[in-house]
Structure 1
Amino acid sequence: MRLMPFRVAADHVVEWRAPVLVVRGESHDPGEEVRGWDYLTEVTVEGALTIRNDELLNSTGLVTDPGLSGIRAVMRVDCSATSERFMDVVPLDPTGGQLRLTVRIPAGAVAEELEVRYEIVLDVPDGPVREDRAAHQRGSRLHELDRPYRFRLEGSGSAFPIEAFEFTGGEFPKDSVWLLRFQDEDLATPYLSAVRLYVNTAHEEGRKLVDGSSGTAMSVLKRDVLLQLLTRLAVGDRDDLGQDFQTDSAGEVIGALCVLFLDQTLPGAVELMRDDPGRVFALLQASTNFLGAGS
């Protein structure tokens, strides 16, 4: 336990249950491979803990001021790849029963890895310094695990960071199902910054994509996005396609997609797109299961 400027709870006061990650109805434990996830998948983190209330209050010095009513249990989920944070905060159970915490993460908000932490925090307005060294500032951590739980997200190949909302016209045509933006000026930039897919929730097929109920639309989406990425790179001369790209850069991720779906390196796929685009279109029909082509 770290040395804190105020009194904290002893380790035995809180019993933590390892969180689980729920993907399309299937639960995964920390460290387990999470397959079937992609950027169009909403995920849920479920956690639980039990607190010995009397011992918590006695060890922290918060027996009567503020008591249990001023303390909260927190589950925090962080994604370093997208710099997103999600939290669930619940009051303590006066009976000492198990506390359940749930964090729902929308599609398109996270990637690569999730880090989950539990905390017990003080949730009252800041007060004066206390002679008994009890915590007196809002947000003070009364207890936390020394290490986080981690879930590694294994993508299924549809690596498209997305935002889902209703298209209203202008730059987002109302009748379109999706729109892709690709900033290709520097392929060394992070993929999550360079590529963004927007899905129209006002369109029936767009809604199906977001909730994962349309395999047909997903197959069309994969092929369409890959073709747009390659078309953008095939227009004009470039001298950066053959370089070694850092992990998770636009060049590295798109190159991996070319190997996965076309069995070509990035330079080879772009050259094929320039010389024989019809063949690229045809090859992607099978590799993306376009309209069930690969079934």
Structure 2
Amino acid sequence: FGVNITYIYQGKARGLADAVYRVKDVITEDKFLVYLGDNIVPYDDFSSFLSFKGSASILLAKVDNPNSFGVAVIKDGKVVKLVEKPKETISDLALVGVYAFTKEIFEVIENLKPSWRGELEITDAIQGLIDKGREVQYKIIEGWWKDTGTPKDILEANSFLLDKYAERKIKGEVKGSSIDGRVFIEESALVENSTIRGPAFIGKGSKIINSYIGPFTSIGDNCVIENSEIEYSVILDNVRIEGVSMMDSLIGNNSNVIRGKKWTKLIIGENSRVEV
């Protein structure tokens, strides 16, 4: 993607606040953004989000099941309280996993105690700022967003992103095949004697042979799909699927699925081999 990335290894999972604290020595600006990697938030105004006043800013969204999230209590236009997965409903405004902080957050985290889950909670860290009298700004987003914590969530996120961003672009080789709609075929991919109906994505080096790829399907790099039918699924890298019909499926890296005869729903982890 044309960017330089520095990876910081957290080691033992001790909570989001601990993960944030681990980047203390690599943050060079006074303000920085924290965006949880398993959340998809179609929010485009991050420059404005980082131009906050006070010590922090958070993105919120109204949810029907606030007990499953960290939530914020707003009073007179100010954030007054944050609670991680409250047992009682105190607010319907959930934190969606996007935060902006000043370096002051590191001082608060240094004095945090683990929660009942044995973790340093980001909600407790932000609450620490509030308890010190610091201002925490917020923005409420509307529309779709997703915490991709389950296979179903990943499939829904894939569907949303393909529907919103997919375009018709064929960089790979197509032989004797039908490509319908918004299908993105990456370089060095091969589609032969097959039908692909968009929105769909085919990764680099993948081969689609004598197969049907239906809408809302993403196929990673260096996969081989042969004599198969796939719809509404996510296939990660280096997967081989042969003679299988599947839908609503999530297939992990380096897996093999072979000799299927009926529509199948599969959730398969990395480095697996399944015969159906």
State the TM-score, normalized to the length of structure 2.
0.26
State the TM-score, normalized to the length of structure 1.
0.25
Structure having the higher Rg:
1
Query: If each structure's strand is expressed as a fraction of its own residues, which one has the higher value?
Result: 2
